[in-house]
Structure 1
Amino acid sequence: MSQPVRLVIQITTQPGRGREQVDAFERLAPLVRAEDGCLQYDLHRAAGDPDRFVLLELWSSREALAAHDATAHMVAADAASPAFRAGPARVIELAADPVA
């Protein structure tokens, strides 16, 4: 059986364009959360910085994550995000087991 996949994604927008990231997330989130295997999809703003964000994702399996990445709405979102982001998102995959 496949292990769940937990991602922490760091996003920085161009100065003053954080609202565009929030708007894009609000349009995308219901679609992503309805996907098979999506267990968590939550955007958080960094305290004190309106242009920095962390996206927390939890997927039931690597296969579910791969299917998510191939959806039309994610392909479109990835194509649109360079218009307001300062650079590529930094994706960190967490180990399956937390550190005790």
Structure 2
Amino acid sequence: MSQPIRLHILITTQPGHAQEQIDAYENLAPIVRAEPGCLQYDLHRVVGDPDRFVLVELWESRDALAAHDATPHMVAADAASPAFRAGPAQVVELEADALA
């Protein structure tokens, strides 16, 4: 049985473009949450920095995450994000319950 995949995606928008990130997330969230294997998909703004966000994702398996990454809506979102992001998002994969 495969382990769930937990990701924290660190996002920085260009100054003054945070709302574009929020809008993109709000459009994607219901679609992504309906994907097979999606257990969590939540965007959080970093306290004290209106242009920084953390997207928390939890996927049932690596296969579910791979299928998500290949969906047309994610391909389109990835292509559109450079218009409002300061640079590429940093993807941090966390170990499953390593310290529990």
Do both proteins adopt the same fold according to a TM-score greater than 0.5, normalized to the shorter chain?
Answer: yes
> Which consecutive aligned stretches of 4+ in structure 1 deviate over 3 angstroms post-superposition?
none
Aligned residues, how many?
A: 100
Alignment of 1:48-87 (within 5 A): 48-87=48-87
Structure 1 gaps, min length 5: none
Q: Give the Cα–Cα distance (whole angstroms) in 1 for the partners of residues 85 and 5 of structure 2.
A: 25
**Aligned match of 1:34:** 34
Give per-residue Cα distances to partners, 1:52-77, cap 9 Å, x unaligned: 00000000000000000000000000
Structure 1 segment 2-13 matched on structure 2, within 5 A: 2-13=2-13
Q: Kindly state the Cα deviation for residue 98 of structure 1 after the two structures are TM-superposed.
A: 3.7
Q: How many angstroms does 1:50 deviate by?
A: 1.1
- Relative to the length of structure 2, the TM-score reads 0.98
Q: In 2, distance between residues paired with 1:73 and 1:32?
A: 9
Q: Which runs of 5+ in 2 are unaligned?
A: none
Please give the TM-score of this superposition, normalised by the length of structure 1: 0.98
Percent sequence identity over matched residues?
Answer: 78
